[in-house]
């Protein structure tokens, strides 16, 4: 059955001005026609949804999620019953779709089995690109061994909790990258600098040499994929650029020299993750979150907006990632509002739609509303250009369509043939 959304204000994800009184026709999971609402009538038997002037736009993409993150303390996380862990992850996946995210890239931690569960229809979630286990050096970001002790491996629960493969030297990194791919990773995640959650490093520490990073890049390119790298400072970012890393995550301490180097690369993206620092900076030490964690998060926040402003001024390819953790998972959409403070609402929306689709190499399929593309659509009950904060509240997303299938339906609609013209389905206002 065809699906028709009409009387919509179309925000197509390209950066073009909104188009009022638009109609989008969906057939076989793809957009077959975009026209004015007073154009040709809907196909016979189609389900027609009256958007009543509300914003219709592409489904959102988040290029940096951690859907397997349940607790800021990894020890507390593994103490949960395996069934509880699995069900909580499944709920986070489902709620991500309900918030309007139709495609996400898990930046480390989520097992391939959850992607398989979505594909099999066992849970209803967004299109998933997974990175599998992190790759980290000994003592680096992702090494959860207790500091200043003899080696005590952290025991993750295979298939459920976040896992790191510790690899030192190019040969070990090469083997670890191959192992991540064997486990179903769509792309490879490496830790190129220190991190806020690390017990033994600082944010500006440079981790992994160019040779080690190049080993991971070589493995990825061999199977037609790429490497994304956690990297904060210029030294780590520049090492990544020399090695051919495609996606730089965070980049909070980006400087002008490094930004110019990024700009000279033809296929390099920056994925800021500002909202996670905004949220985490309000936490105090406790429950596995240490005073060092608090200090480093607040340090990271001080550079986040300056780095984003520099990247925007230089014209870098800026994607959108939330990096939210634990019980903050429901606040992914707030990243768009954070970016809008620097880039403006339209550019922040483009980052979370068209640019992220390009980053994920899905630009021919999703990210913009164009004829022939997959019908990943959302309807909002307020104007996101006037108030991008609405992306952070799932109740403002009134309708979600994934590949032509309505997966969040608050309109009570039925096929147009079963209703008089004046009784067609409408998308209700928010509340």
Q: What is the pTM of this model?
A: 0.94
Distance in angstroms (rounded) separating the CA atoms of residues 53 and 208: 52
Domains along the chain? 3-58+367-426 (2.30.40.10), 60-359 (3.20.20.140)
Distance in angstroms (rounded) separating the CA atoms of residues 317 and 364: 18
Q: Which residue has the higher pLDDT, 70 or 410?
A: 70
For 85, phi and psi rounded to 5 degrees?
-60, -50
Q: Tell me what the pLDDT averaged over the chain comes to.
A: 93
Distance in angstroms (rounded) separating the CA atoms of residues 62 and 40: 35
Q: How confident is the model at residue 200 (pLDDT cuts 50, 70, 90)?
A: confident
Q: How confident is the model at residue 422 (pLDDT cuts 50, 70, 90)?
A: very low
Distance in angstroms (rounded) separating the CA atoms of residues 39 and 239: 54
Q: How confident is the model at residue 424 (pLDDT cuts 50, 70, 90)?
A: low
User: Which tens digit of pLDDT belongs to each residue from 52-107?
Assistant: 999 999 999 999 999 999 999 888 888 999 999 999 999 999 999 999 999 999 99
Contact yes or no for 65/321 (Cβ under 8 A): yes
- pLDDT at residue 417 greater than cutoff 50: no
* Secondary structure of residue 230 in the 3-state scheme: strand
Q: What percent of the chain has pLDDT over 90?
A: 84
Residue 172's CB: how many other CB atoms inside 10 A?
17
User: Which tens digit of pLDDT belongs to each residue from 177-189?
Assistant: 999 999 999 999 9
Listed as own residue / partner, the contacts of 300-304 with beta carbons closer than 8 Å and 24 or more positions apart are 300/196, 300/203, 300/232, 300/250, 300/252, 301/277, 303/232, 303/252, 303/253, 303/254, 304/252, 304/272, 304/274, 304/277
Contact yes or no for 211/222 (Cβ under 8 A): no
Q: Which two tokens stand for residue 39?
A: 């154009």
Please report the pLDDT score of residue 27 as a whole number: 96
- pLDDT at residue 416 greater than cutoff 50: no
- pLDDT at residue 194 greater than cutoff 50: yes
User: Which tens digit of pLDDT belongs to each residue from 336-367?
Assistant: 999 999 999 999 999 999 999 999 999 999 99
């Amino acid at each position: 059955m065809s699906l028709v959304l009409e009387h919509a204000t179309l925000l197509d994800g390209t950066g073009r001005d909104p188009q009022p009184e638009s109609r989008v026709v969906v057939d076989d999971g793809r957009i077959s026609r975009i026209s004015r609402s007073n154009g040709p009538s809907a196909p016979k038997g189609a389900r027609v949804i009256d958007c009543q002037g509300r914003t219709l736009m592409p489904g959102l993409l988040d290029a940096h999620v951690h859907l397997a993150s349940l607790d800021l303390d990894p020890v507390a996380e593994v103490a949960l019953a395996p069934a509880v862990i699995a069900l909580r992850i499944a709920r986070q996946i489902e709620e991500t779709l309900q918030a309007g995210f139709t495609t996400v890239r898990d930046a480390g931690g989520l097992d391939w089995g959850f992607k398989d569960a979505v594909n099999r229809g066992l849970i209803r979630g967004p299109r998933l690109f997974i990175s599998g286990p992190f790759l980290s050096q000994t003592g680096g970001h992702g090494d959860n061994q207790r500091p200043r002790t003899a080696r005590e491996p952290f025991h993750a629960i295979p298939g459920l909790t976040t896992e790191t493969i510790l690899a030192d030297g190019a040969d070990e990194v090469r083997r670890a990258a191959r192992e991540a791919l064997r486990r179903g990773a769509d792309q490879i995640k490496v830790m190129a600098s220190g991190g806020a959650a690390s017990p033994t490093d600082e944010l500006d520490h440079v981790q992994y040499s160019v040779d080690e990073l190049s080993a991971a890049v070589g493995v990825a390119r061999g199977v037609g994929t790429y490497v994304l790298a956690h990297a904060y400072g210029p030294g780590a970012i520049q090492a990544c650029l020399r090695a051919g890393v495609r996606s730089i995550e965070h980049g909070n301490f980006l400087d002008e020299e490094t930004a110019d180097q990024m700009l000279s690369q033809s296929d390099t993206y920056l994925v800021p993750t500002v909202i996670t620092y905004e949220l985490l900076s309000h936490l105090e030490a406790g429950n596995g979150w240490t005073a060092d964690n608090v200090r480093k998060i607040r340090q990271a926040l001080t550079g986040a907006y300056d780095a984003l402003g520099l990247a925007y001024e230089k014209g870098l390819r800026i994607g959108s990632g939330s990096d939210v953790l634990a019980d903050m998972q429901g606040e992914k959409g707030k990243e768009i509002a954070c970016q809008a403070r620097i880039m403006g609402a339209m550019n922040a929306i483009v980052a979370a739609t068209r640019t992220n689709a390009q980053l994920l190499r899905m630009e021919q399929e999703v990210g913009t509303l164009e004829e022939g593309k997959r019908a990943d659509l959302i309807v909002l009950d307020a104007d996101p250009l006037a108030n991008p904060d609405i992306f952070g509240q799932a109740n403002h997303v009134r309708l979600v369509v994934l590949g032509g299938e309505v997966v969040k339906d608050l309109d009570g609609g039925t096929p147009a043939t079963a209703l008089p013209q004046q009784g067609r389905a409408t998308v209700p206002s928010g509340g």
